Amino acid sequence: MSIETPTSAMAVEKHKSKSEKKHKSTTHGEKKRKRDHKEDGGHKSTSKKHKTDKPTTASILEVPENVSPFHMQTSSLFLPLAPVSQKTPLEGLCAEHLSPLILTYYPPLTGVLLSYHNVRLSEKPFGDDGEDNVLLQNIDEYAVSWAWVTAEFLLFKPEKGAWLEGYVNLSNEGHLGIVCWNLFNASIERKRLPSDWNWVGVQEREEGDGEDEVYAEEGAGHYVDGKGEKVEGMVKFRVREIESSHDRERGFLSIEGTMLSEDAEHEMVEMESGVVANRDHAGRRLGGSRALGATSLAVHAEASNFASDITKEEAYKQVLEQASALFDGQRNWVCNLANTSALLWHAYKSLSSPSASVNWAGFYVLDKSRANQLILGPFQGKVACQTILFGRGVCGTAASKKETLLIHDVEAFPGHIACDGDSKSEIVVPIVVGGQTVAIIDVDCAEVEGFDQVDRRALEELARLLQGACDW
């Protein structure tokens, strides 16, 4: 597929000056050549938004299994030649502009450049005037000369829904990391792994029958499949999402995969459809939340608005969806826990009693300055205890046991720490990563029996979401 990249248009626009009127006819001719090129050859210019006719999210699984992610593409780029390279223009252009792009995502080509060959110079796009007969173009007073460089580029451009395979190189409770062709990283969220896969932490193995030795290099643990066998080596998955993080010049590609069946993936997509609507798609197409100049256009404050007649189940669903959207591109635990505590607080205040009587909602995190101690994290409510030892009170006990504690009456709990005398009931959910409690979700209510199994299930799902969303 031959394309004429927008590089030339940007270059000419960038170097317009007082002598614009002098070059008006040249610019008009260049535009006409582009129009003629599109009409004659059907070669469309790529735009910065990278619009394509790829399937939508709802149909990502319909791509044939044998679609290759590697593409050979002929492209022409309008590039500047430095004065030092005037004697060897072809070598100079390759060394300065093309070779540094190898193994990076290049926006004009909409793919990761793997190699290039058959490089030639010309005065017009897709030409070959030979290195000795090319008339380079000078623009205004600038010392550099410009020329069209055409080459065949080998690109890595995976499509949504295409099948890829790679080796497992990272396992944790939140996701499975895969490296493809020893070059490209992919990630699969835990919720998109087969339902019969289970996580086995190092501590669980140590507490088992002791038949297998535990080696330090095995990390925090691993997954086992439905047959009880360790998940390792090569695995096969479908591409669910492709994100490019880049500025105008270059960047990298991020691949998210799925191992769910077609029906299960569609159900997951439908469940997440509310989240997608809250994401900044324009920013993602132009390079994601970390791209140069990327700005979130969504009003995040609206995420904490809940309908007055909402049910508890609906409120928790909104919390999970909005939290997932807010975590997109953000892995700092302080930021994510702060937003989550605000979402929980406003959700409870939109509900009827006893949820409306929640008087504290927030987090305690692992204190890295002292072993087996929690320290106060982001929260909503009155000031609270600053540190809590593992095994003390409801929070410390839940952190130590790594299990949820739903306490209907805190006065009846042995060793209860009364940070606020108004609290009558409490629920604490640990966030466990690599077999270690890294934080706990703590919610207090001013009424006895303020929490039930609906709260438990929702907060445990929130804890799983936070496991993989933060760099702990």
Q: What are phi and psi of 334, to 5 degrees?
A: -65, -45
pLDDT score of 90 more than 50: yes
Q: How far is CA 268 from CA 226, 307, 466, in A?
A: 21, 24, 18
Listed by start position, the domains of the chain span 2-46+73-99+115-152, 163-285, 300-469
- Taking the C-alpha atoms of residue 14 and residue 96, their distance in angstroms, rounded to an integer, is 19
pLDDT score of 196 more than 50: yes
Query: Coil, strand, or helix at residue 251?
Result: strand
- What's the mean pLDDT in 214-238? 79
Q: What are phi and psi of 384, to 5 degrees?
A: -135, 175
Q: Nearest to residue 471, comparing CAs of 424, 417, 433?
A: 433
Give residue 450's pLDDT band: very low, low, confident or very high (50, 70, 90): very high
pLDDT score of 461 more than 80: yes
Instruction: Identify the top-confidence range among 98-107, 142-151, 346-355.
Output: 346-355
Q: Which CATH class is domain 163-285?
A: mainly beta
- How does DSSP classify residue 183? T
- Taking the C-alpha atoms of residue 99 and residue 305, their distance in angstroms, rounded to an integer, is 50
| CATH code 3.40.50.2300 for 300-469 | no
Q: Nearest to residue 340, comparing CAs of 456, 455, 469, 217?
A: 469
For 278, counting Cβ atoms within 10 Å of its Cβ (0-12 exposed, 13-18 middle, 19+ buried), the class is middle
Q: Are 101 and 111 in contact (CB under 8 A)?
A: no
pLDDT in tens, 359-373: 999 999 999 999 899
pTM: 0.45
Q: Nearest to residue 274, comparing CAs of 321, 213, 324, 232?
A: 321
| pLDDT score for 290 | 39
